[in-house]
Amino acid sequence: MKISSFAAHSVKAKLQPHTIERRALGRSDVLIEIEYCGVCHTDLHFVNNDWGMTEYPVVPGHEIVGRVSEVGPEVEKFKVGDFAAIGCMVNSCGECSSCKSGIEQYCLQGFSATYNAPVNDPGGFTFGGYSQRIVADESFVLNLPENLSLSGAAPLLCAGITTYSPLQYWTVETGMKVGVVGLGGLGHMGVKFSHAMGAHTVMITSTPEKGEDAKILGADEVLVSTDGYSMNKEVGEFDFILNTIPVDHNIGPYMDLLKVDGTMCVVGAVEPLKQVNAAQLIFGRKKLSGSLIGGIQQTQEMLNFCGNNNIVSEVEIIKMDQIQEAFERLVKSQVKYRFVIDIKSMANA
């Protein structure tokens, strides 16, 4: 089936209207009419080929929400008219130890990403949510709680699960002191989740002005990382720190904040961290870890948690023809806290 989309055709090119072809509906497939798609910084990385793996034309978008318009004859979880969502994955090998353990994001063969992944579908690669419709096997499609706004729910499929997964894995709960470093698309979700899980939540930021926003989002305290006196007072006080800084940085000051046996999990910087001092790990039995997204089961758990606690992302809705401006503002961190595309606007773009 031919579908309208927006695609980049070369390195750093502007996204333009583009027609793609989706596969015909299979027996276990679900067809979703996309209503909103979040804008992740990963989308811009792929458009610019920053990681050297982009296949053009690329149709980005892996924070997808909409309604089911058709289902295959073997589909059991969805019916026409249901809200549905797709995140960063649309398939995995299903046979390796990770897949069998429900952590498909760590598939030993590599999961099939929602866009730019090689497949046997028309075009040879997956195409993402900057499009009007998408087809996926029901096992990688998620139920969306009806009480959540569709636009606010879209970023939960990436920014949400990226922060929920480590907080849940390290059993953040009442009685713990949790720090969230960086108040952006990931960080603002980390604050919301940590607060909802009952932890004493501290926003750690280099910009004091973000402190008031963080408190509105659920932070109990704000710690300014450039204030040496305040940082020294908090040495050895944190059970867990979620680090959402997206670039290489000195993690030393944040490791100092951890208690003995404390953990800092990096979810932002997908690159080498040059300033890691093993002595900080040894003297304190501290742990430096990382986390990707969650598996399908955990992502559904996250969406249910959001439904029960009325948690959505803070978003700015844009039209499809505003995507270039959004990318420019994204680089400058000029959004609170996630852009979401109204896909219906594509018809007029």
For residue 5, list its beta bridge partners.
18, 131
Render pLDDT for 181-236 as a digit per residue (tens, 0 to 9): 999 999 999 999 999 999 999 999 988 888 888 999 999 999 999 999 999 999 99
Confidence of residue 349 (pLDDT cuts 50, 70, 90): low
In this structure, what token pair is assigned to residue 23?
């596969």
Measured between alpha carbons, how far is 153 from 81 in angstroms, rounded to an integer?
17
Q: Cα–Cα distance between 134 and 64 in angstroms, integer? A: 9
What percentage of the chain carries pLDDT values higher than 90? 90
Q: For the residues of 63-75, what is the DSSP string, one character each? A: -EEEEEEEE-TT-
Distance, in Å, from the CA atom of 133 to the CA atom of 306, rounded to the nearest integer, reads 25
Given this model, what pLDDT does residue 34 score? 98
pLDDT digit string, tens, across residues 9-61: 999 899 999 999 999 999 999 999 999 999 999 999 999 999 999 999 999 99
Are the CB atoms for 5 and 345 separated by under 8 Å?
no
Q: What are the structural domains, with CATH classification, of the chain?
A: 2-158+294-348 (3.90.180.10), 160-290 (3.40.50.720)
- Evaluate if pTM is beyond 0.85: yes
Q: Is residue 347 exposed (0-12), middle (13-18) or buried (19+ Cβ within 10 Å)?
A: exposed
Cα 208–chain centre separation: 25
Tell me how many degrees the CA angle 272-268-104 measures, rounded to the nearest 5: 95
Q: How far is CA 190 from the centre of its chain?
A: 11
Query: Mean pLDDT across the chain, nearest whole number?
Result: 95
Per-residue DSSP letters for 234-292? TTT-EEEEEE---S----HHHHTTEEEEEEEEE-S--S------HHHHHTTT-EEEE--
pLDDT of the residue at 333:
87
pLDDT at residue 348 tops 80: no
Residue 334 CB partners (closer than 8 Å, separation 6+): none
The pLDDT tens digits of the residues spanning 134-154 come to 999 999 999 999 999 999 999
Output the CA torsion sign for 114, 118, 121, 124: positive
Name the nearest CA neighbour of 154 among 85, 206, 91: 85
pLDDT in tens, 256-289: 999 999 999 999 988 888 889 899 999 999 999 9
Coil, helix or strand at residue 181: strand
Residue 207 CA to residue 223 CA, distance in Å, equals 10
| pLDDT of the residue at 330 | 93
